[in-house]
Homo-oligomer: A and B are copies of this chain.
Amino acid sequence: MILLLGGNGYIGQAFVAELERRKHPFISLSRRELDYNRFDLLLDYLKSKRLNFVVNAAGYTGKPNVDACEAAKADTLIGNTLLPQTLALACAAAGIPWGHVSSGCIYSGAKIKTENQVITEKDINKPEVRKMISTAPENILGFTETDAPNFSFRDEPCSFYSGTKALGEEAMAGIGQNYIWRLRIPFDEVDNMRNYLSKLQRYAKVCDNVNSISHRGDYAAACLDLWEKRAPFGIYNVTNPDFITAREVIELMQKILKLNRTFEFWANNEEFYNSAAKTPRSNCVLDVTKLLATGVKIRPVREALEHSLRNWKPETI
């Protein structure tokens, strides 16, 4: 039996769908049913069930976006830093392995291969980096699991959200047996305010950023595969392989969804931050070599995007 926390959330729902598809028995526990921030209640609960795995898809993301976390720091910290520590300790005490929905947004930028070395470039929108993306994308490398987060309280600036997610990883690492599954910018074929494809369609103006992104269902499937394969515990970047620019995603949407409109782009990030955002955003490329090396299959990003758009289910009123 698997216990799922945060099953009502956007990512939690993907776990629900994937567990149902696999006919894997599970309990989806809401915080209304049990205040799992309380160690004593949580541990009693864990011991009372015959669980062999716990999935934590609970956390505090901020609505409609991470700016909201800046105004809800206590809840953000409780959801993203204290809860992972509580869960790690309770699962260790109960002897149950578990997996945690973490985030790749604890990085900024990419690693750039030059003639002699690999350098980290935090600003992926620098003209020379953008030029390389079109001329020599093979020289744009993702952050691996051994790279220290560079968009965190230890390497500012960062958003409060990203700071708490990075510290959440620290707070649970090495306690008992657990997976840290890093998601980046979820999307799929179902129109939703959390879906990247919906967001891009609804923004008044778009930032042409560069990112590794995660198909929501592919992500949940890959996370559960890691556990089913008994891959070693630890951190895994779980995005669809490769990276993509927002401009390319929009071109794909234009082509496949035949949207009857044009898109405006922010001239640059300064314009975006001055006009539309309170806190810095993470834009980054992640390396998924470690995930793929376990034998887990996950579609390349363009394949997953095309599939989502060809099966697009717009929200109906």
Contact = CB atoms under 8 A, between A and B. Distances in A.
Query: Quick one: which of A38, A71, A89, A154 has the most chain B CB within 10 A?
Result: A89
Interface string A52-80: 00000000000000000001011001100
Nearest to A76: B153
A106 to B, nearest CB: 11
Query: Quick one: which of A39, A78, A92 has the most chain B CB within 10 A?
Result: A39
Contacts of A170: 74, 78
B77 A77 contact: yes
A156 interface: yes
Task: Determine how many copies of this chain the complex contains.
Answer: 2
A109 interface: no
A154 B77 CA distance: 11
A82 interface: yes
A283 interface: no
A282 interface: no
Pairs of residues from A and B, 5 with the lowest C-beta to C-beta distance, nearest first: A73-B153, A74-B153, A74-B154, A39-B89, A74-B167
A316 to B, nearest CB: 39
12 contacts: A39-B89, A39-B92, A73-B154, A73-B156, A73-B163, A74-B154, A74-B163, A74-B166, A74-B167, A78-B167, A82-B82, A85-B85
A36 to B, nearest CB: 14
Contacts of A102: none
Contact of A39 (B152, B166, B175): B175
A40 interface: yes
Contacts of A85: 82, 85-86
Contacts of A235: none
